[in-house]
Structure 1
């Protein structure tokens, strides 16, 4: 699929960070080739006939330059993939991988009554973890346990937390996290098998913990195998082609990604399990009783080429059609260049390329630099405006560049699917553009924080963000069109300006951002309602003169925790007692208005302060103008209680409230 250009707006910021930092590019999760797109074309798998001749076998691993596996006679795996009590299971060891007929029974616990199952080596090969029946029984039956063979002393010991009532089996050593992963019905005796882990500390082993993100909760998850790239395991969860199917979960920091079902030929309509990847990651083997396996479980070996953790070298084709955006006709002679995305970011990281947010393209020498990239493919559009880019590659993600004289260059990110894929896209190339620079200016010479500059095409209503690169807002806008620039910034009034994109428009635009009066509303905040008007010697609120009371009512409706006190003041004309009574009536009048529009009266307190808090020189007996007396007639709101995030803003002379 082709992503739109807004992706590259954010890419500019990330690229700027990437260039200035010393951090390496983040590694992507491994994409294993054993998926539906690549496995049928890449992987070679065949029955390992040497093991077939020896009889039913499973869970093969490399051990001491030889091979170690489980062999059985009679009944094979039973319910929940436990080793059937009616069968005889043993560990077989062949010192020479080329001659497995020459093998011996490995009996770390000794005795003929022991039942042995899948095993695993620690990374340093000093410990062998193996499955065997527990020495202690539970209700007349012996469950399975995991034991440790110390290769230096040849002494064995069970994992310390093993309980006789539960099964513990199928160990695999995780060298990355220094832990042992295994299957168990721990906590659900007789129920499904889940995957657990225990961490090795200097003082011993931790208590088992269920693996997060892996277990399905209802199905049996068994036969885990861990590599540096991720975790393989088998499960009978719904959705697979067979009874027991193989899954892979890539590592994701300390956990794993959701499991991914492997494709044929790794999974079949039968049971497929106990996959093992060799140390080089180039192949391995698995166990299956798929069609044709009349002798029970068989071991199959497979190869992935160079690696099982990279996609196969398959064909990816891009069919591009380019048209002129204004005339809607095909464009001939457009150069189309495609390079792998990792190569693109490597060029940015090295400083050889710089991202230009003005044109959503790389620096002006991009064509010369890209032509030095050996992994690039390119073509020129035909008379019909088309060109085809085809390559056999391991990559899925690419950067595509379109360049033509008199046209704005285009950069796009394209993502192919798994396996063989073909994408057809039609792109429009705009005419050349006019570069404008937007400068944001504060009257107070303060810094502007969190400014967002939006460019909107008035004809199409398309909106685009002009990025701030090193304090400069620049954009190349298409000629012959009209745009509106909108600036929003924290604590500032919104500013808009209309520009016509012509060759004579100013290159530099200055936009002045005025401050908004913003106050945090909380306990103790005191706000003045400047637009409640009382006539002299009156406590009645004039019709239409309670705009700010209505705004107060609205915020008290949204913030149900807010409790206020209304404080009314008069001027100094009249007696002190009269003014006190008048102010009390004015405060009550304001409260009545709030109650009338739906606010609970219990959330509103009132107090009349008369002429006790004159704000200017107009004391009793002092001659003053009407405007000077009006300055003292006011109603204030004291916040006694309020919720989080309430703000008061004085905008264009009116008080309004918002909640963040």
Structure 2
């Protein structure tokens, strides 16, 4: 209702028929090309539009100022006439920003480096970005369109969210992607169960509370895939005599194995073995100077999948 065309062939009109309305009638603008008005119109937003009826916008001839009517709260009566001045040109190529953060679903930790794909309504990838050091991403999107974003990262399962932009220009949409850790991960060419490191107290082999949480994940996965066969390998760093490290890792492997069997894992599907310092993952062998963090990489418990075909 209340159409007005300015000297730049922009049609201003009022409507209460769009989902992005602020309440009652709102004033919209759209470009006229030939004999047609471009869809969709742009909601002029606050302060032109309010929760009440806003309508009948007109410009003074040759000026970027004018008047409109509204029955908003604070007027002198019912419908009142208000003055306005255009402070910056109206952008009719309606665009919005879709932005968000990628996190680990379980720990809520940020996941910088995650890949985020933007899909259009036809299911086509129209843009891809890599989340920055703060795990944030953003896309410029059109108004009144349906999109989907899909986040992915190595050792994680994809997460996605669908959203639809409204008819209002320059809106910022906040999205969230929460990637669940993958159940399985490929390390050094071997398929393994994806868990956090299992730690033992110094020179000890009993299962700590934090280690039990990770072993519970292993038990749950092995029950989910009853044909899965696992070799549990316990490893140490090189800082102790070779034989001592072998015995210590073997005790830790057997302790972990017994814990899992007690929780219902079939004994025939899992074996445990200590490797001592025979399978270091870095250069930190005997007499090589390394940091504590480098030595920690070698103190690990791995659950290698012997028949990965059962999970495909």
Structure 2-normalised TM-score? Answer: 0.48
> Which structure has greater strand proportion?
1
Select the structure of larger CA radius of gyration: 1
